[in-house]
Structure formats: C-alpha cells, structure tokens
Amino acid sequence: MTSHAAITLDQLPISDKGSIQSIDWSLLSEKDGRRLRELGVDEGVTVEKLHKGPFGRDPIACRIGRMTVALRSAQAAAILVEPASKS
Amino acid sequence: MNHTPLIALVGNPNAGKSALFNALTGARQKVGNYPGVTVERKSGRFALEDGRPVELLDLPGTYSLEPSSPDEAVTHDVLLGKQEGERLPSALIVVMDASNLDNHLRFALQLIALGLPTVVALNMIDMAERDGLKIDVAKLSAELGVPVIPTVAVRKRGIDALKVAVGELATTGPRISGGDVAVLHEDIVGLQRRARAIAVAATTEESFRRRWTHRADAVALHPIIGPILLAAILFLIFQAVFSWASVPADMIDAGISSLGEIVGDAMPEGFFRSLIVEGLIAGVGAVVVFLPQILILFFFILLLEATGYMVRAAFIMDHLMARVGLSGRAFIPLLSSFACAIPGIMATRTIDDPKDRLTTILIAPLMTCSARLPVYAVVIAAFIPDRAVGPGIGLQGLVLFALYIAGVAGAMLAAYVLRRTVTKGPPPGFMMEMPKYQAPAMRDIALGLWTRAMIFLKRAGTIIAFTTVILWLLVSYPKPPADYDQPAIDYSIAGRIANGITPIVRPIGFDRDIALALIPAMAAREVAVSALATVYAITDGDEAAQERSLVDRLRGRWPLPTALAFLVWFVFAPQCISTIAVVRRETNGWKWTGFMLAYLFALAYIAAGATYWAATALGL
C-alpha cells in the first residue's frame, strides 16, 4: 500500500475508510457545497467508500458519518480524505 | 375562523415523517396545494388525550431551514409565519431518525431555536437498537430542553405518549419568547458540530452496524447484479400493470356501460340524455377505466419508495440520465409516466434543480402511457400479422415493444436537445441520502394509494368531465338537417374542424376520418379507438355492421403506410387535455405548456410523415 497521503474521495478505493482532511469549497457550486454540509460532510468526519455506479463508475455511494450518501465523482473530487491505516 | 390549534410536523427526509403523520391522523387527511407554488399541503386532524381536536400539518421534509428549493421555502415560510394562507403553527413535532441522530439533531436544533413549543419524536428507535445504538432519552431531552418521546411510527408505538406530550405543550405555551434567531443564521458546520456533541453525549452504547442495509446494497448496487435486478423489477411492474389490471378494468368498463344503459332507459330521449349518457358517462368512464392500472403502478412505486429501493434505482440510472443532461432523480417521474404522464409530472416536484425538473416535465408525455395501449392494440391487431419471428417472440409483440422504445428514444433525444438549447444550464448534480432499507407498513401504502385514487377521481370528475362534455358538443352539434345524406358527424363543428385539418395531415397519410378521430382523442388518446369505431359504424350505414369489429374495418380501409404513420403519430403527439392542464399548473403558465405542445406536435408530424413516406417508398 501507498503511505497515508491524502487522496480525493473519488479516488478512494471501494470499501476503504478514511477521514475527511479538507474540503475545497471553491470546486463546488454554492448549492452543492451547502447540500454536502447538510449531508454531514465536515472535516474530521469518517467516510467509507461503499459502491460505484454500474455505468461509467459514476455516481459513488459513501458512508459519511452514519448516513449513506450518493454523489457524483465531480463533487467527490473536492473532498480530500486521509485513508485510514489498514490493519 | 378556525380555532383548532395548528401543529406542524417537521423533520429531515427519511425520518419517517409520513408514517408518523399517518399514525397520528389515520385516514383523516386533506391534500391540497400552497397558492402559487407547486408544493403539496398535507394536513389531517386528530384528538389529543383530553379530546381537544388539533390540525396536524405535514411540512415537506428538508435538511435545513435555508430556503433553496420550493419545498424548503414552504417549510421555512410556514415556520416563520410568512406563508400566505397559513397560520403560524402553535406547536411543532420534530421528527428525528434515532439511528441518524447527529445529522437529524442539527435540523432539530434549528427548529427548537424558533421558540415555538416543541416536542421531539425520536422515531425508528427500534432500528437504532437493531443497529447497536442505545440512546439516553432523558439526557437527550435535557440537552435539547424539550420533551423527547421515543416512537416507532410504522408499528404505532409511542403515539399515545406523543399525543400526551403535545397536549401538555398546548397548555404551557411558548417556551422561549421571540426565539433564538441567531441560531437560524448560525453556520451549518457549527450547528453540525454541536449536534454531533449532543449525539455523542446522549448515546450510551455504540456498536454501530447497519447489517441489513449493508448486505442488501451489496446485491442491489452490485455492478452486474444491480442493473439486472432493476430490469427484472421493472419487467415485473410492467407485467403487473398490464395483466393484473385487465380484470378490474373490464369490470369498471362493464359497470360504466350498464350505468349508461340504466340512466339512458330512465331518461327521456333528447339533449340531456345524450349529454349525460354519451358525453359525461362515456367520456369520464373512458378515463376511469385506467384507475386499476394507475393504482397498480402506484402500489409498486410507493412500495419501492417505502422500502428505500427507489433511491438505489436512481443511483443505478444516474449515469445514463446524465448523458442526456438529466439526473438520476428524473428516473422516478419518468417511470411513473409509463402508467400516466399526470402522476409522473406531479412526481417531478422532488427534483430540486429547476431546469432538470422542467426538462423532465417536457419529456414525460413521450413515455408510453397506458392510454396509448388501446390504440396500439387495435391498429397492431389489424395490420401486423400474428406470426412468430423467433422462439417465443411474436411480430405483434415486437412492434409494440418497438413503439415503447421509440417513445423512450424520442424522450432521450428531446432531453439531449432541450438541455443544450432552451433549458440550458449547469448540469444538475446528484446528491442524495440513501436511506436504510425497511419493511414497509402496508397501512401507509394503502393510505398513499387511497390519496392518489381520490386525486385521480376528483380530476376525472372535474377537468376531464368538463372537457369531454365540450368535445361531445363539438362532435354532436349542430345536428344535420333531415335530408342530409352524409354521416351526422360531418355536419358537426368537429366535422368542419376536421375538414380544415385534413389538408394538413394528408401529406402524412391521414385521411379525413382519421383527422376527425384525432379531435375527440384530444380528451384522451384511447378515445381515438371509440371515435374511429363511431365514424366507421355511421359511414357504413347498416346496423348489422356494428357487429363487425373495428379491426376488420380498419384492415379494409387503411393502407399499411397510413396505419404505421398513425401508430408513430401516437408515440409522440400530446393528445391529452389532462396532461396539458397539469403541465400548465406545474410550470405556472402557458409559456412552457405551449412550447411543449408545439415541439411534440412537430415531432409527431415529422416522425409520422417520415414513416408514411418510407413505408410507401418500400412498397409496403
């Protein structure tokens, strides 16, 4: 495995976990940014990549906190995740 | 004056708000619309423990009080007493999903800060326990400063305790005067952190695992099994819509016929008898016959929604929809439109992007609704030979399938073009909470079906009744003089309009009889069948010929290219007054309605013409 370098959420492999390091709000429209905050996206929150869409690997489904949230890769690219170390 | 206290039910989507509403009010519900916006107003009544009646208002589920979609704006305005035609609620019931506390608490904090007397329903407490969470209700209540009642709405648990708590609120009055307005403007992130802190403090035991949802999603969202499962579910729904509905539909049809006969026998011959029997009963009956199909389709849609699968379907379809500029959210309304465009267009209210929603409304009438089926069935039976083209595949069925595909392809093409021209805008995002799977409460589904049936029948009794009567008048009047030797319908206003239309539709292979049938078919497409039957029965003259089936008549009269062009016309043409009325209401005006009519008629004309000339050139 690579080291624990932060990667964007769309790049996180399926069933890997991590915690949100930072969010680049400038990559998101105001509306998308607000929606993401409402869905619980915040620094320090744990995420787990769960599924990818069957066609074109988009959208993706992630567990964010206790919710499962579907979003497109374009928005997930704004979320920087520090992968959890694997046991 | 209305002195019944108004209590508002508020909460996040997927908190079980509707189930709680149903559990509190039972079947005593009223569904209406807020003035000027396309947001449903759902209210009901129930009695408190001491017998006092209260009105319960089910506000649209939202994530926060920031008004960005029409639904959220209504919730925001009602709670601040700014909504036109709505009283400020005298108390709130805030619904939270106990298994998703940290997220739902954030909205609850905002709501409590409004200062209205509030009680929190900690719903789906059983699910939280199943997920390995233990919540200290007393501690949560102390942190929030309002009563917290654990409930399981789908099992009707905790409902009585909730009523008691609401009754106490109504007597104590406002908790804070004026409200803590600062919290309303507090940053979502700040609120979220406070919510998380409270959730952590109130949760005494945590071994969070959502086993069932996790396992089910491993199948439902599997890259290969997922789409196959979705296709299988859709296939099952279509089978059910078309096969289960035929028995009740035939019964309704027979019932309407005998009602017409009874009324016809009871009334003296004349204008009013024709108006009621041939205009009203036959016209409204033609639409009511579709009630079983619509209810069966809605049963499945409500079931898929209640179980949580619908969002998974949107997830699977999102990428394909994105290619034509739509999002996965448009999938559900378009699916509904296969039964009837009206509920489909109404379901677009859940799409928050306005351009995405408008595009979906504009293409929804291209989905092959059940009213086209009688038209297709008659024309296919008359012109497409009943032979097999492969093992188990009949040519007739193949043509029917092709017509469905033509509608979907037309819709996708239209969406692609519209999104790059008139409804141009940034691509709609796709961001949705995927709720946990749960067993649906059949009572909630039955209530949902009942509400839909009532809305549909009310419409049949008003708009549709009115338009069918107008069309009947056009087809029946003025009466020809006694020595008129042509069919009476030729002398009517509709006959004269048909004369005007004929030169326009002749290039696409339609004759005057077809033009005539298209006029009453504006009320509903399937009326084209009965209109053709009437026209040909009258022109053939002899009463015995009534017995000859329409299929035989058509075979003798239409060349094959005309029949094919006729089928293609019905794939695209917006021949449905009710749909037009709903589009006008949902788009708030005639501008987009007129645009939709123009583009769909143009599409129908070009496609039918191309079919006619291609078929003629091929010597069919």
Query: What is the predicted pLDDT for the residue at B599?
Result: 96
Backbone torsions φ then ψ of B32, nearest 5 degrees: -140, -155
Query: What is the predicted pLDDT for the residue at B503?
Result: 94
Min distance A45 CA to chain B CA atoms (Å): 10
Mean pLDDT (whole number) for B426-449: 86
Pairing type for strands B148-150 and B118-123 reads parallel
Same domain? B266 vs B376 = yes
Query: What is the predicted pLDDT for the residue at B410?
Result: 95
How far is B12 from B63, CA to CA, in rounded Å? 5
Tell me, yes or no, whether B363 lies in a domain: yes
Q: Specify the higher pLDDT residue, B617 or B332.
A: B617
Query: What is the predicted pLDDT for the residue at B441?
Result: 85
Min distance A6 CA to chain B CA atoms (Å): 22
The answer to whether B421 touches B355, Cβ cutoff 8 Å, is no
In the stretch 312-331 of chain B, residues with CB closer than 8 A to chain A read 314-316, 318-320, 322, 328
In the stretch 284-313 of chain B, residues with CB closer than 8 A to chain A read 311
Judge whether A67 is closer than 8 Å to chain B, CB to CB: yes
Query: What is the predicted pLDDT for the residue at A22?
Result: 92
Tell me, yes or no, whether B471 lies in a domain: yes
Judge whether A12 is closer than 8 Å to chain B, CB to CB: no
CB contacts < 8 A, A to B, total 111
Judge whether A34 is closer than 8 Å to chain B, CB to CB: yes
Contact B103 A66 (CB under 8 A): yes
Query: What is the predicted pLDDT for the residue at B176?
Result: 45
Tell me, yes or no, whether B40 lies in a domain: yes
Q: Which residue of B has its CA nearest to A60?
A: B315
Contact B319 A31 (CB under 8 A): no
A48 is written with which tokens?
């787990």
Least CB-CB distance to A69: which of B64, B328, B434? B434
B194 is written with which tokens?
């406070």
The answer to whether B79 touches A47, Cβ cutoff 8 Å, is no
Q: Is B326 exposed, middle or buried (0-12, 13-18, 19+ CB in 10 A)?
A: buried
Contact A68 B430 (CB under 8 A): no
Task: Evaluate the omega torsion of the peptide bond into residue A59 and state whether it is cis, within 30 degrees of 0.
Answer: yes
Share of chain B above pLDDT 70, in %: 92
* Residue B36 DSSP label: T
In the stretch 42-81 of chain B, residues with CB closer than 8 A to chain A read 63-64, 66, 68
B523-563 pLDDT, tens digit each: 778 778 877 877 776 565 544 444 566 788 888 889 999 99
Same domain? B475 vs B334 = no
Contact A72 B189 (CB under 8 A): no
- Is the pLDDT score of B572 beyond 90? yes
How far is B56 from B25, CA to CA, in rounded Å? 8
Min distance A52 CA to chain B CA atoms (Å): 7
The answer to whether A60 touches A70, Cβ cutoff 8 Å, is yes
Tell me, yes or no, whether B552 lies in a domain: yes
The answer to whether B489 touches B535, Cβ cutoff 8 Å, is yes
- Among the ranges given (A62-76, B188-202, B409-423, B581-595), the one the predictor scored with the smallest mean pLDDT: B188-202
SS3 content of chain B, % helix, strand, coil (to 5): 65, 10, 25
Helix (H, G, I), strand (E, B) or coil at B506: helix
pLDDT band for B80, please (50, 70, 90 cuts): confident
In the stretch 83-102 of chain B, residues with CB closer than 8 A to chain A read 99-102
Give the distance from CA B30 to its chain's centroid. Answer: 17
Neighbours of B559 (CB within 10 A): 15
- Is the pLDDT score of B318 beyond 80? yes
Mean pLDDT (whole number) for B40-62: 89
- Which residues on chain A are in Cβ contact (under 8 Å) with B434? 61, 67-70
In the stretch 387-426 of chain B, residues with CB closer than 8 A to chain A read 426
pLDDT band for B139, please (50, 70, 90 cuts): very high
Judge whether A36 is closer than 8 Å to chain B, CB to CB: yes
Mean pLDDT (whole number) for B458-482: 77
Mean pLDDT (whole number) for B401-408: 91
Query: What is the predicted pLDDT for the residue at B346?
Result: 82
* Highest mean pLDDT: which range of B168-177, B361-370, B374-383, B455-464: B361-370
Contact A37 B192 (CB under 8 A): yes
Q: Specify the higher pLDDT residue, B32 or B9.
A: B9
* Highest mean pLDDT: which range of B5-14, B357-366, B391-400: B357-366
Query: What is the predicted pLDDT for the residue at B490?
Result: 76
Measured on CA atoms in the order B367, B373, B374, B380, is the torsion positive or negative? positive
Number of domains composing chain B = 3
How far is B332 from B230, CA to CA, in rounded Å? 12
Tell me, yes or no, whether B425 lies in a domain: no
Q: Specify the higher pLDDT residue, B572 or B385.
A: B572
Same domain? B250 vs B380 = yes
How far is B319 from A59, CA to CA, in rounded Å? 7
CA angle in degrees (0–180, nearest 5) for B159-B164-B167 = 125
Same domain? B347 vs B285 = yes
Query: What is the predicted pLDDT for the residue at B180?
Result: 52
Three-state SS sequence of B109-121: HHHHHCCCCEEEE
Contact B318 A53 (CB under 8 A): yes
* Residue A57 DSSP label: T
* Highest mean pLDDT: which range of B48-52, B68-72, B171-175: B48-52
Q: Give me the residue label for tokens 């919540």.
A: B135
- The candidate with the shortest Cα–Cα distance to B23, out of B596, B443, B587, is B443
pLDDT band for B182, please (50, 70, 90 cuts): low
Share of chain A above pLDDT 70, in %: 93
Number of H helices, E strands in chain A: 2, 6
Mean pLDDT (whole number) for B576-594: 88
Q: Specify the higher pLDDT residue, B172 or B186.
A: B186
Query: What is the predicted pLDDT for the residue at B544?
Result: 47
Share of chain B above pLDDT 90, in %: 31
Residue B152 CB partners (closer than 8 Å, separation 6+) = B123, B124, B125, B126, B158
Three-state SS sequence of B124-149: CHHHHHHCCEEECHHHHHHHHCCCEE
Query: What is the predicted pLDDT for the residue at B373?
Result: 81
Mean pLDDT (whole number) for B242-246: 77
The answer to whether B449 touches B302, Cβ cutoff 8 Å, is yes
| Average pLDDT, rounded, for chain B | 85
Contact B68 A68 (CB under 8 A): no
B271-299 pLDDT, tens digit each: 888 888 877 887 777 777 778 877 887 89
Query: What is the predicted pLDDT for the residue at B396?
Result: 86
Task: Evaluate the omega torsion of the peptide bond into residue B478 and state whether it is cis, within 30 degrees of 0.
Answer: yes
Query: Which strands, in side-by-side order, build the sheet including A17-23?
Result: A7-8, A79-83, A17-23, A46-52, A60-64, A67-71, B431-434
How far is B470 from B456, CA to CA, in rounded Å? 20
Min distance A3 CA to chain B CA atoms (Å): 28
- The candidate with the shortest Cα–Cα distance to B189, out of A27, A80, A20, A83, is A20
Tell me, yes or no, whether B229 lies in a domain: yes
Tell me, yes or no, whether B182 lies in a domain: yes
pTM of the model: 0.82
Mean pLDDT (whole number) for B111-122: 91
- The candidate with the shortest Cα–Cα distance to A18, out of A73, A79, A87, A85, is A85
Conformational region of residue B477, where left means phi above 0, alpha means psi within -120 to 50, and beta covers everything else: beta
- The candidate with the shortest Cα–Cα distance to B394, out of B383, B407, B385, is B385
- Which residues on chain A are in Cβ contact (under 8 Å) with B435? 68
Mean pLDDT (whole number) for B156-164: 92
- Is the pLDDT score of B8 beyond 80? yes
Tell me, yes or no, whether B215 lies in a domain: no
Judge whether B434 is closer than 8 Å to chain A, CB to CB: yes
Per-domain boundaries in chain A = 7-83
| H or E element that contains B216 | helix B211-220
- Which residues on chain A are in Cβ contact (under 8 Å) with B63? 35, 38-39
Same domain? B200 vs B332 = no
Of 3.30.2350.10, 3.40.720.10, 2.30.30.90, 1.10.1740.10, which CATH number belongs to A7-83? 2.30.30.90
Pairing type for strands B91-97 and B6-11 reads parallel
Query: What is the predicted pLDDT for the residue at B119?
Result: 94
How far is B363 from B572, CA to CA, in rounded Å? 10
Query: What is the predicted pLDDT for the residue at A62?
Result: 94
Query: Which strands, in side-by-side order, build the sheet including B40-47?
Result: B29-33, B40-47, B53-58, B6-11, B91-97, B118-123, B148-150
Judge whether A65 is closer than 8 Å to chain B, CB to CB: yes
Query: What is the predicted pLDDT for the residue at B1?
Result: 45
Domain boundary residue among B209, B242, B269?
B209
Contact A69 B103 (CB under 8 A): no
- The candidate with the shortest Cα–Cα distance to B527, out of B306, B316, B356, B289, is B289
Pairing type for strands A17-23 and A79-83 reads antiparallel
Which residue intervals of B245-349 are DSSP H helices? 246-266, 271-274, 282-288, 291-307, 309-323, 331-336, 341-347
A28-71 pLDDT, tens digit each: 888 888 888 888 888 888 899 999 999 888 899 999 888 899 99
B95 is written with which tokens?
């619904």
Neighbours of B80 (CB within 10 A): 15
Min distance B292 CA to chain A CA atoms (Å): 34
Domain residues for the domain of B515 are: 465-617
- Is the pLDDT score of B206 beyond 70? no
What is the DSSP secondary-structure string of B73-100? Answer: HHHHHHHTT-STT-PPPSEEEEEEEGGG
How far is B319 from B314, CA to CA, in rounded Å? 9
Neighbours of B533 (CB within 10 A): 17
